[in-house]
């Protein structure tokens, strides 16, 4: 029996995949229905569609807006507009419900320790527990009726300390900021009136060796499977859940499952880890070494995958020099 703790993106997806394959499983989450967890809702339609099709969800049922323009600015560079590729906003809460389908959530934490437990609890690592050196940033988001930015807008803080965003939804905007300094984050949002103001921390570094603890395995943000440059975690959460599902489908014994899963996520975990170190070096004003420069290419590729076109390279080069 698999007990999935957390009915966010990763947990819901994994549970649905197991249910559809006849693998005995239950899902738990103490969160009340429709409780708003902060998230910009931005993703890339080309990357998310393959996962949606595996759980019979149509993009049209959860799509909020598709980006037609993206503007980016920063401390050291002028606002630049460029053409997006697949960047969109989706209704993440609706997506979680649609993924679950008829599946029922037990509205509590997991009690007892029988069977296998999946920690899909995001930032809280409710089952895997805290680890030394865990790295997170502050994030605050306002749900607004108006925004001065009609398209998708990013404004990077000085020294790579974080960024401000405004993303259009169907009839609202998600305006938020994430960064290492809470005062800077809040100051960037001071002029915006939100119907709701939400905040939580966001994990900014993969937990590398800490993805399994006894009978508990982590997926999604609980193991830092999230792009540390932009804090993009929706598609990575689906990706890690699919990889764990593949491992569970393939092997009967727990040891082989954890080994196969660990191997299948290790390549992307290393990329996330390298980017996280590069960002930290920029933030601390350290001179970037050759490895960091090579990592910048991987970071650029992550950003392109998110839906930004190659013109972003110019801004990225500027961003890299901002800490000097
Ligand atoms: C402000 C903000 C903006 C963001 N914007 C974007 C964006 O625009 N695009 C993007 O791709 N990513 C974004 N992210 C990141 C993205 O939201 C997450 O990385 C992603 O949702 C992680 O999915 P998950 O399933 O791992 O965890 P979550 O979606 O966080 O789900 C965790 C679930 O676990 C539940 N839970 C907690 N403790 C327990 C427990 N003990 N037992 C059972 N259940 C428990 C919670 O109630 C929750 O439902 C943003 C994050 C923040 C904070």
Quick: pLDDT tens for 234-269. 999 999 999 999 999 999 999 999 999 999 999 999
Distance 200 CA to ligand 1 centre (A): 9
Tokens matching residue 109: 């934490």
Q: What is the mean pLDDT of residues 1-13?
A: 97
How far apart CA 263 and CA 304 sit, in angstroms, is: 25
pLDDT digits (tens, 9 = 90+) for 137-172: 999 999 999 999 989 999 989 888 899 999 999 999
CATH no. for residue 78? 3.50.50.60
Residues 312/72, Cβ–Cβ less than 8 Å: yes
Q: What percent of the chain has pLDDT over 90?
A: 73
Q: What is the mean pLDDT of residues 104-110?
A: 96
Overall pTM > 0.85: yes
User: What are the start-end ranges of the E strands in 147-263?
Assistant: 152-156, 162-168, 173-179, 196-203, 212-213, 216-218
The residue whose C-alpha atom lies closest to atom 18 belonging to ligand 1 is 233
- Phi-psi domain of 267 (left: phi exceeds 0; alpha: psi -120 through 50; beta: other): alpha
pLDDT of 229: 87
pLDDT of 322: 55
Ordered alpha helix ranges (H), 101-233? 182-188
Higher-pLDDT residue of 268 and 283 is 268
Position 131 pLDDT exceeds 90: yes
pLDDT band at 286 (very low <50, low <70, confident <90, very high): confident
Q: What percent of the chain has pLDDT over 70?
A: 94
Boundaries of domain holding 74: 2-321
Distance 221 CA to ligand 1 centre (A): 7
- What residues pair up with 141 in beta bridges, in sequence order? 176, 198
Number of compact structural domains in the chain: 1
pLDDT of 324: 47
Distance 202 CA to ligand 1 centre (A): 8
Distance 271 CA to ligand 1 centre (A): 21
pLDDT of 318: 65
The residue whose C-alpha atom lies closest to atom 30 belonging to ligand 1 is 122
CA-wise closest residue to 137 among 203, 228, 186? 203
Position 319 pLDDT exceeds 90: no
Residues 156/183, Cβ–Cβ less than 8 Å: no
Q: Residues enclosing ligand 1, CB less than 6 A? A: 5-11, 28-31, 37-43, 109, 120-122, 124, 126, 139, 141, 176, 200, 202, 220-222, 226, 231-234, 237
pLDDT band at 58 (very low <50, low <70, confident <90, very high): very high
Q: How many CA atoms lie within 13 A of 316 on its CB side?
A: 21
CA-wise closest residue to 167 among 114, 92, 220, 108? 92
Distance 236 CA to ligand 1 centre (A): 11
How far apart CA 88 and CA 7 sit, in angstroms, is: 23
Higher-pLDDT residue of 50 and 76 is 50
The residue whose C-alpha atom lies closest to atom 17 belonging to ligand 1 is 39
């Amino acid at each position: 029996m698999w007990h999935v703790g957390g009915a966010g993106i990763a947990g819901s997806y994994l549970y649905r995949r197991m249910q559809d394959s006849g693998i005995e499983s239950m899902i738990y989450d103490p969160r009340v229905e429709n409780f708003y967890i902060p998230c910009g809702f931005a993703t890339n339609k080309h990357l998310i569609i393959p996962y949606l099709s595996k759980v019979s969800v149509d993009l049209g049922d959860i799509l909020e807006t598709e980006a037609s323009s993206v503007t980016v600015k920063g401390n050291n560079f002028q606002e630049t507009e460029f053409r997006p590729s697949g960047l969109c906003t989706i209704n993440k809460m609706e997506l979680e419900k649609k993924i679950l389908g008829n599946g029922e959530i037990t509205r509590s934490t997991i009690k007892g320790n029988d069977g296998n437990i999946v920690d899909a609890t995001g930032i809280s690592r409710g089952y895997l527990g805290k680890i030394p050196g865990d790295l997170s940033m502050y994030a605050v988001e306002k749900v607004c009726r108006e925004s001065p930015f009609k398209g998708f807008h990013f404004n990077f803080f000085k020294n790579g300390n974080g960024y401000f965003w405004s993303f259009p939804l169907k009839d609202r905007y998600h305006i938020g900021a994430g960064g290492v300094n809470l005062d800077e984050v809040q100051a960037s949002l001071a002029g915006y009136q939100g119907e709701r103001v939400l905040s939580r921390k966001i994990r900014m570094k993969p937990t590398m060796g800490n993805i399994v603890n006894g009978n508990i395995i982590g997926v999604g943000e609980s193991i830092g499977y999230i792009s540390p440059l932009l804090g993009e975690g929706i598609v990575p959460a689906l990706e890690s859940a699919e990889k764990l599902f593949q491992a569970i489908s393939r092997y009967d014994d727990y040891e082989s499952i954890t080994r196969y899963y660990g191997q299948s996520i290790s390549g992307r975990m290393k990329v996330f880890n390298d980017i996280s170190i590069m960002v930290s070096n920029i933030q601390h004003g350290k001179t970037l070494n050759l490895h960091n420069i090579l990592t910048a290419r991987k970071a650029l590729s992550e950003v392109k995958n998110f839906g930004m076109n190659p013109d972003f390279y110019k801004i990225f080069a500027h961003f890299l020099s901002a800490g000097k």
